[in-house]
Amino acid sequence: MNKQKFGLVLFWVAVIWAIGWGVMGSVFVDSAFRNFTMDELNQTMWAAQGTWTMIWGLLGVPLAAIVAIIGILLYSGAKGSTALKYGVGVFLGFFASMAAGYLGHIPLLFGIGGTLILLFFIGILRFWAKERMALEGTSATAADLKLAGYVFMVIAAWFICGIASQPFLKALEGETPPSPIHVIILLVLGWFFLFLGHYKSRKQ
């Protein structure tokens, strides 16, 4: 099996793995967490700190995404060392982010992170504008679609920050967090427009 075929196999294995755990989470995990008390939940296979819940949360979509980028890089012709570098790099970033959770909530770091997201967004807009000036026709349309995706993503990040920080705000103690349905809509729109942009920019 050559490198490209191996990469394609890795990619599809990751896709199937992600969809399988995603469906399982939507159907079983979500239902268990919504309908059981913590004591009841801990008597099921989806106990909060149980093996299956940990696999679903940490090794479901996150692992699939890492394997998928390695596979798609190999399939697209990247060197094996390049695919491994990005795969390991993303894994280390993911591991560091999870490990940071054990530090507890640090408002300053939370604020710095939000500020960096906004600065990166502004930087992307500046680079995007320069690239857009040199594009025409289909390429310009593809760039515009991606821009819409970026905008929806940064708006989603804004509302995610608000919802995620609420449990740590004294003024909102005891308040029920709002439904995050608007966030999932924003994220879906963001990914949708990014997908359309890449679809439009593909070779005809």
Mean pLDDT for the stretch of residues 85-99: 91
Close Cβ partners of 177 (under 8 Å, ≥ 6 residues apart): 163, 166, 167
> Is the pLDDT assigned to residue 172 strictly greater than 70?
yes
- pLDDT for res 136: 87
- pLDDT for res 109: 84
- pLDDT for res 175: 75
Mean pLDDT for the stretch of residues 56-64: 85
Domain boundary among 88, 104, 120: 104
Claim to verify: residue 116 and residue 163 sit in the same structural domain: yes
User: In terms of residue numbers, what domain contains 113?
Assistant: 105-204
pTM, rounded to two decimals: 0.83
Domain boundary among 76, 104, 132: 104
Of 118, 183, 102, nearest to 150 by C-alpha is: 118
- pLDDT for res 73: 94
pLDDT of 138-168, one tens digit each?
899 999 999 999 999 999 999 998 888 887 7
Number of structural domains the chain divides into: 2
Claim to verify: residue 129 and residue 173 sit in the same structural domain: yes
Annotate 33-56 with DSSP letters as a single string: HHHS-HHHHTTSTT-TTSHHHHHH
Helices within the chain (DSSP H only): 3-24, 30-35, 38-41, 51-59, 61-75, 80-100, 107-132, 137-165, 181-201
Claim to verify: residue 44 and residue 97 sit in the same structural domain: yes
Output b/e per residue, 158-180; b: 16+ Cβ within 10 A: eebeeeeeeeeeeeeeeeeeeeb
pLDDT of 26-51, one tens digit each?
777 777 777 788 887 788 887 877 78
Domain boundary among 104, 135, 153: 104
The pLDDT mean for the chain works out to: 88
Mean pLDDT for the stretch of residues 53-77: 89
- pLDDT for res 203: 65
- pLDDT for res 23: 83
DSSP 60: S
